[in-house]
Each structure stands twice: as C-alpha cells, then as structure tokens.
Structure 1
Amino acid sequence: MEISFIGAGNLAWHLAPALENAGHHINEVYSHQLKHARQLVSNLYDAHTHSELNFADSPSQLFVLAIPDDALESVCSQLVLPENALVVHTSGARSLESLENWMAIYSDVPVRTGVFYPLQTFTKGQSFMLFDEIPLCIEATDSTTEDTLVQLGQAMSDTVYIITSEERRTLHVAAVFACNFTNHLLTIAHDLTVRDGLEFDLLRPIIAETFRKGLAAPNPTAVQTGPARRGDLTTIETHLTYLSNQPKLAEIYQLLTQSIRSQYSQ
C-alpha cells in the first residue's frame, strides 16, 4: 500500500518504519516542523518530505494522522486529499465519529475514515520497536475499510482487535494509569533518592520485581504490598512527616494510600 504520514513525532518514528518492514511504501512525510519530517524520512527507504497539507496529487492510498489530539481538527480543516483516500487517526481518546465529521465538513472530495491505534508507549530517537506483540486497535466506518485496516495490522502484529471508540477510550484511560502515571511515580522516586544523596539504582530490583509480579498475576491486586495494604498507620504517618515540606508529594502519597486502603477494606 502507498502511504503518507502527517506527523513525524514519537509514534510516526516507529510506525512508519514498521509499515515499510511489512511491505508497504511510505511516499511522503509532512510535519509543521520540516526538520522533524526530514529526520523521519532519513530512516525510510524512498520517502520524501511534503511541505504542505495539500495531497491532492499524491499517489498514496492511506494517510496516517500521527499528530496530537488537539491538532486533529485544525489539520483536517487544511487537509486536501485525493478522492476516495483512506485517512486514519492514531488517537486513543478521539472518536472515529469526530474524524468522520471533520472530513465531511472540510473535505471537498469523498474520503474513507478509520482508526489505527497502536496500544504502546513510543519515544522518538530510540531503536525502532518491533510491532509483533503490540496490540493494534482498529475501527472503521464500513466493512471494506475495516478489512483493509485489519489486513494492514495483521501484516505487522499478531494482536489486532476491532474495537469501538468507547472501548478504545477505556483502554486509553487504563494505559494512562498503567504507563504514564507509573512512570511519573518512578520519576518521583528517582528525585527523592537523588535529593538525599542516594542512588536510584538501589530501587531497581524492587521496581523490577513489582512489575514481574503484577504482570504475572491474574489480577495485580493479589500481589499488592506496602504499609497501606497492611494498614500500617504508624509507618504512613512517618512517611507523611518526611514529606511535610513537600505538600504536593504528600497529597499524592495520601491519595494513593487512601485508594489502596479502600480497595482492601471492601
């Protein structure tokens, strides 16, 4: 399939090469920052940068919107596509209906719409990720488009799901808790240790074991440990005293402690 990318950030950095490795051809990469498009193109076989959102003469059949959610409508309002092109967004939170409505309002030619959402965290500049085990969540406005996206996904991953916008939103919220919030808590732990002259490496074994147990258990609630799980109020108060000069961290500590205690008091 002939493909163009609108966006050259974290996701595009990994998804575009993965599509090429699956036998597809990336024609063009557009980014509002041309240097980012050039960086991505340098990692592709035969792609070139595209300096505007007018793709009317593009040979591509699929246009991938790999851009932040809050930029989707603005980009759609400027996007010019070939007739009957397939345009997909890669958002976990935006509905398919939103994309369908924007294209109906802004496009002068009929286009097809869908969602191609890889459920993974991506970082630009790192080694290209293998997509074999990354869940790909598919949604489309019609069965023909759905079949096209499923075939596209199955050429890359062993895990392809057809899910609704509501289901995808649930997965995205859950992923924010499991991934983004978890990483933020690791950042807090790092800053606490470094601030007091300790090495963050001391925590690596307990972090690794926590994730090993949590992923191995049918439900992570079965392997919860710590003072909140035990109801150890003395230790909790000791920790809050330590955090008394950092009210924001104390608030996070209290909120999570109360959530854990509530979970196990039922």
Structure 2
Amino acid sequence: MSFTTWIFDPKIPFENLSLATKTQSYTFGRRIYTFQANQQAYWLKFHQANSQHILAKAFQRELNFYQLHQHTQQPFLLPYQIIQFSDVVNQLDAMEGGGGLLTANSDAFFTALTDDSEIESIQQKILAALDTLDALHQLGWIHGDLKTEHFRFYENSCRLIDFEQCFRIGFPIQTLDATPHYMAPELFQGTGKTIQSDLYALGIILYEWLTQLTLKAGSYHDWAVLHCQQLQIQLPSTLQCFFPVLKGLLEKHIEQRFSSVSAAKAALNAKDLLENKNK
C-alpha cells in the first residue's frame, strides 16, 4: 500500500502508537507520535488548539510550507500529507478537530562514524547534505533551525524535516527563535537569519559528526561566548582534509563565511581532499 493510499482510507486504525514529544514541548501543546498502519511506519505531528500561541503559530507556518509544495514533489522532503483529524480513526489525547502533518518515518542521516569509514564515503555524505540544503535555498527558502536530527535518511537520500522557522529569502519572520547550540555568531547580536546562518548551523552539525563530540554550554550566554569567541576547529589527523570545508562554514565573521552551498561544495572537491582520497 502506498503512502498516499493510506490517507484515503481513514478507517485503518493506528498501530503501535507511541508518543515521541519532548517533555517541555508536550507541556506547551505540541504532539509528535510514531505509529504503524499496514506495516508501514509514520510520524504524526500536530499542535493542540488553544495551547502556547507561539508554538501554534510556528506549527501553522510549517503546515503552510508543506501545503505550498504539496504538488511539486520536492526531493528534499519526506513523503507527507496534511490530514484532518475529523476524518481519521485515532486514539490521540484531547484532540478537538484540526489538522496534523503526517510523514513517512525515516532514519537519522548522520549516523556514527566507524574507525574504517573511508574519506570518499564521508565526502559523499557531506555532499548529499549540502545538495539537500541547496535544494531548499534554490527554491527560495531559509530553513532557520537546522539541527542534526533534522537531516533524515529515506530511500537512499538525504531529506529535511521541521520547517517551523522556515521563511522565504528576503522575507524573514519577525521573531528570533533558534537553538543556541547551532546559532551563528551574528544571530546572538540580533542579526536576522540568512543562507549563511543555515551554513553555520550545518557546519556545527558536520563538526560534531566528524569528531563524534557534542558541544556543550551551560546557558544562552555561554553559547554566545562559545560561538562568538571560543570555538576552535580541531579534527582527527585522518580527517584533516575536511578542515577547509568546516573552516568556511564556521567562520565567525559572516563576510568571511561561505556565502552559498556552491562555495562549500567547491571546498569539498578541493585538490588536497582529492589527493587524500587517492592515497
């Protein structure tokens, strides 16, 4: 049964329904469930009516993004449908009509590296992530909240999820809502999000993936100090060929950072990296 067929058969009950919402988000009215239907796995995301209006507005922004692209089959998106709960048999808590976002389940894209991970396979993984982000940018959108978990692996390709902070290039949203862990230095100074802040966030994701370390800070102020002053890129000796890519993505000053995905891809295909692959 195809993903789309399931939508038009609302009598099928949810199986193995499991709540996956983080505790704080649950308190604010956000709901994310995983479940199965006819042996296929899905995610279901919605926001309860009359709950935390900022999160409700963000979720509506995401629904609008998906509605806008539902007939164009964008390659960076998971298969999805926007559903009305009045049409679906469900066992969800305190649902009073409204709509939700249903997507195919997927695996994490940035899985742990192994000791025998080859330079070429790492390069291709980074390239896939860059291509996926570039597809969004070329369509005219900033993601605005890239995190490791927002890159997904589905049908041998890289996909993106969570477009609550997404906005059209040149038309930024008025409220700054970002995750300090991935925030570019200029965002701490009140500058709006851009392609380059997306690239910085991807740089943090790649840095943590390549080093298998997680950056830590105790407060918003500590994150600001880390990103604006303290962050120093250090890679294992076997992965030094990726240093130019990370350096260009993680420049503290925006005028020195890569201005596009194309610039990052050029660094990824640089001479030193190619020579390292051929050793």
Which structure shows the bigger proportion of residues in helix conformation?
1
Q: Which has the larger radius of gyration?
A: 1
> Is the pair's TM-score, using the shorter chain for normalization, greater than 0.5?
no
TM-score of the superposition, structure 2-length normalised? 0.27
Higher relative contact order (CA closer than 8 Å, sequence separation 6+): 2
For normalisation by structure 1, the TM-score amounts to 0.28
